[in-house]
Each structure stands twice: as structure tokens, then as C-alpha cells.
Amino acid sequence: MKKFVLKTVVLLLCCGFYSCEKEVIVDLEASKPRLVINAPLVWAKGTAGNEQSIQLSLTASYYEPSVPKVTNATVLVTDEQGGSYAFLQEGTPGTYVCHNFVPVLHRKYFLEVQYNGAVYQGEEILYPVVDFDSTSQTNDGGINGDEVTVKAFFTDPLAEDNYYLSKKVAPTQVIPEYSSFTDTFFEGNQVFDAFGDADLAPADAVTFTLYGISKRHHEYLVKLLNAAGANPFQPIPGVVKGNMLNVTQAQNYPLGYFSLSQTATITHTVE
């Protein structure tokens, strides 16, 4: 009898919720659109690194169906040795592409974006990264002991401060998994990055990518990942400021980040 009464109450509550369901549109205050500069220049080991792209967009209100793309900007990257690399609108709206970029480790690069009468500038150094050493796999991880855990090992360089961005891609994930960390507690030692998922199956490929980044980029990523919990290469509207400045009108600062990284990649096939 108690079970019958409980089920009846639950049913009545559910009916009440459905009968009261109504779409509510909150009148949110619209802010002035800001430029979003998504400029991670990545040099994968074993490649020339000449093909690079930068994405420009604008922030939009919550109810906008899509993100506005910027298609009439001038984008130029230069380096401290006099190199100059024009990024031209190509393909997808808001995407600016360079085919002759020359990556040089430890060299400083400068990005300038001209858009809508304003000039935006930023600078960064191209940081190196170590190679992966090996991978390993266990099949009894997690709380229930049924999680497949893959580890990718690398050896941190001795006697230097290093900052890393890690990217993990697996068929069980809708989007890549990212994290950023320093070598403060493992300097000069072999360490590992790990990915675990109970849904991993034999023949699934788990790919690890390690980025060498600056201290400032690491600090930015930590804030961004805490705020968004998503892809750091897709900046969200918010107050997480990057390293790009509006030199024409300081208060109209942009969002996003200009970074340069060498990357190492290793793939483990689940057994």
C-alpha cells in the first residue's frame, strides 16, 4: 500500500511539473561585441610548420544562434629577426591562413590584427617540447576496477622551468581532454600523462599531444579551463584576458590568446 501511495504522489508531481512547463526568455543586457583572437601557432615535430591559421570572431549575446565571424581584418605575424608572415582570409569565414611561416625555437614572434579601425598586438616565444618515451596500459583502474587506463611517458628536461599543455583524444570522448601543468614537482624526472575510460575497447586509439608553452600561457589556460571546462582553443565570452592588447583603445580589449608551441605526439592502440 505504501508503494502504491508513493508512486501516485510521484506521478501527480510529474504531471504538475509538465502542466506548469513554460519557456522563459530572460532579458539579458547586451554588451558591446569584443574581438576574439584564436591564434595558437603549433609546430608539430617532424613537419615543416609552414601551414598555420588564426581564427577571428566576435562575442555575441546569449541568444545568438551562431558566433559572428570576422572577415575584413588584416592579420600579420612578424619575428625579432625581421621575418614577416601575412595571414590571409581563406576557406571558412573568419579563418586567416599563412602558407610560408618559418618556426624557430626560442624566437620571439609578434601578432598584429587590424580590425574596424583598431589595432591589436601581442607577442610570444616559440617554446620547445620533449618527445614521448613510451606508453603503457592497465585494465583494472577506476572505482569499479573496470577502467582501461593508458599512460604516455616523457622525461622532463633537467635544470629548467617547463610548462606544458596536454591534449588527449579518444573515440569515447566527444571533445579532446585538455590539462595544463608545470614541472615544479617532477623536474628532470620521467613522468606520465594518463587517460582512463571504462568504455575503451580493443583497437581504440588514444592519442596524446604535448605542447611546450610559456608560464604566462599556462596561467591563462588554468583560468580558462577552470572557467569553461572545454577546449582552450575556442575562447568563450568572459573576463579571462589573454596576451593581446588593443593599442588603439585599451578599454576595448580583445579575448583569446596568441601562442606558439612545438608539439610531440604519441598514439596507443588499446589491446
CATH of the domain at 41: 2.60.40
Per-residue pLDDT at 145 exceeds 60 = yes
Judge if 120 and 170 occupy the same domain: no
Q: Look at the block and give the residue holding cell 623536474.
A: 187
pLDDT averaged over the chain? Answer: 87
Average pLDDT over residues 115-119: 97
The grid cell for 208 is: 596524446
* 242 lies in some domain: yes
Residue 225 CB partners (closer than 8 Å, separation 6+): 178, 179, 180, 232
pLDDT of residue 224: 83
Per-residue pLDDT at 228 exceeds 90 = no
User: What DSSP element (H or E) covers 7?
Assistant: helix 2-20
- Beta pairing class for 177-182 and 118-125: unpaired
Judge if 70 and 90 occupy the same domain: yes
* 3 lies in some domain: no
Q: What is the pTM of this model?
A: 0.83
Judge if 101 and 175 occupy the same domain: no
Rounded percentage of the chain residues whose pLDDT exceeds 70: 83
Judge if 99 and 144 occupy the same domain: no
Q: pLDDT band for 185, please (50, 70, 90 cuts).
A: very high
Judge if 136 and 107 occupy the same domain: no
In the chain, how many domains are there?
A: 2
Judge if 41 and 121 occupy the same domain: yes
* 24 lies in some domain: no
pLDDT of residue 30: 54
| CA quadruple 129, 133, 139, 143: dihedral sign | negative
pLDDT of residue 67: 87
Judge if 123 and 150 occupy the same domain: no
* 165 lies in some domain: yes
Judge if 61 and 108 occupy the same domain: yes
Judge if 87 and 159 occupy the same domain: no
* 182 lies in some domain: yes
Per-residue pLDDT at 177 exceeds 70 = yes
* 10 lies in some domain: no
Residues 242, 4: Cα–Cα separation, whole Å: 59
* 156 lies in some domain: yes
Q: pLDDT band for 2, please (50, 70, 90 cuts).
A: very low
Judge if 122 and 252 occupy the same domain: yes
* 192 lies in some domain: yes
Judge if 175 and 139 occupy the same domain: yes
Residue 256 CB partners (closer than 8 Å, separation 6+): 35, 36, 37, 38, 39, 235, 242, 244
Structure confidence by residue, pLDDT tens digits, 60-116: 875 677 889 999 999 999 999 999 999 999 999 999 999 999 999 999 999 999 999
Structure confidence by residue, pLDDT tens digits, 132-143: 999 999 999 888
Judge if 99 and 146 occupy the same domain: no
Residue 219 CB partners (closer than 8 Å, separation 6+): none
Question: Phi, psi (5° rounding) for residue 73?
Answer: -105, 160
Domain span including residue 189: 132-210
